Amino acid sequence: MKKILLLFISLFLLNAGFSQSNVPNGNFENWYQVSVSGSSSYWQLGSGKNDNWLTTLNELASIAPPLGPGPVTVYRTDSSNFGSYAARLTSGSFFVNPTDIFIPGMLGTATLDFANIRAILGRPCAGCKPLHFTGYYQYYPVNGDSCCALALLTKWNSSSKKRDTIGYGEQVIRDAVSIYTPFDVTIQYNYPSSSLSPDTMTLLVVSSAAFNLSNFMACKGSVGSTMYIDDLMLEYPAGIQESVMPKVSVNVFPNPAQNALTMELGECVENAIAEIFNAEGKSMATFVLPDQKNLLPVNKLADGIYYYQVRKGEKILNSGSFQILK
């Protein structure tokens, strides 16, 4: 019955004008155990240290005494929406003399930097422009706590030495939810930044919404607030799939372009092609990429935002977007 329901939902979303692309390990089927000392260990996302696109703050548990160990805040659970496993996020605290630091249950694209009492956000995702960040959740708040899911797309600005926000979406959930329920974060791309292509994607799901991963000392919430998460997805315009873990780097310029677009690959790829899609997901052109640096005639394309896929056969090597502005 569950499989039939999920199939119906998938068909509905496709008919509504979107295609879906899995977040790496977004179904939480892959976990590995990290040994701390003796019989002590904790679960971490992925199949090993080199397979952890989504991460947690569980590395706090590896901090040695007398300062550590810190709390484990994300657990593998068989209480899943679909498949064998899901993630359980439970907010905790870490006593660092002379105070308790509140640590939210968090998973996403963030890397722990406890030396500076923070997490570093984001994963490289050149040109990625999803429209929605979705998943399924349950929530059991403590003392009126709230949870949230968010997506942030940014690009490094070499002039200001800061990151420009290209797109952002957030959903805060304040009520208890005892059955798996879908959430849907709509990502808004703001003018004039919307014409830019992001280079970094941040996805976060957090069991206490008043978090500050740039400074753990500023995090707020209630210890014990618990969120179950499963089946994270990214949605793109119909017909478009984007690679969030690119196999070959791609640089496109100028952006915006007028009559010609240079597409430079990080390495030579035999039999590579580039397919161009409009914002509705319709294929507009296909180009053979015989060289590492290729000039694509785009003079027939009208003004607007376009997506590209670089492929070898059926394998997507990279993807992104660019703008035509004449």
pLDDT digits (tens, 9 = 90+) for 15-73: 334 444 468 899 999 999 998 876 788 999 988 877 788 999 999 998 888 887 889 99
Among residues 52, 69, 51, the alpha carbon closest in space to that of 60 is found at 69
277 vs 262, more confident: 262
Q: Which amino acid is at 139?
A: Y
Cα 46 to Cα 11, 24, 51, 308, distances in angstroms: 28, 9, 5, 29
Average pLDDT over every residue of 123-145: 91
Distance CA 217, CA 166 (A): 28
What residue ranges of the chain are covered by domains with CATH 2.60.40.10?
Answer: 250-324
Residue 231: the pLDDT is: 93
Position 297 scores a pLDDT of 96
The answer to whether the beta carbons of residues 89 and 74 sit under 8 Å apart is yes
Q: What percent of the chain has pLDDT over 90?
A: 48
Kindly tell me if the per-residue pLDDT of 4 is higher than 70: no
Lowest-confidence pick of 121-130, 189-198, 312-321: 189-198
Q: Tell me, what amino acid is at 191?
A: Y
The fold for domain 2-237 equals Jelly Rolls (2.60.120)
Every domain of the chain with CATH number 2.60.120.890 lies at 2-237
Q: How many residues are given for the chain?
A: 326
* Mean pLDDT across 103-129: 83
Residue given tokens 């005639």 in the structure block: 297
CATH superfamily for domain 250-324: Immunoglobulins (2.60.40.10)
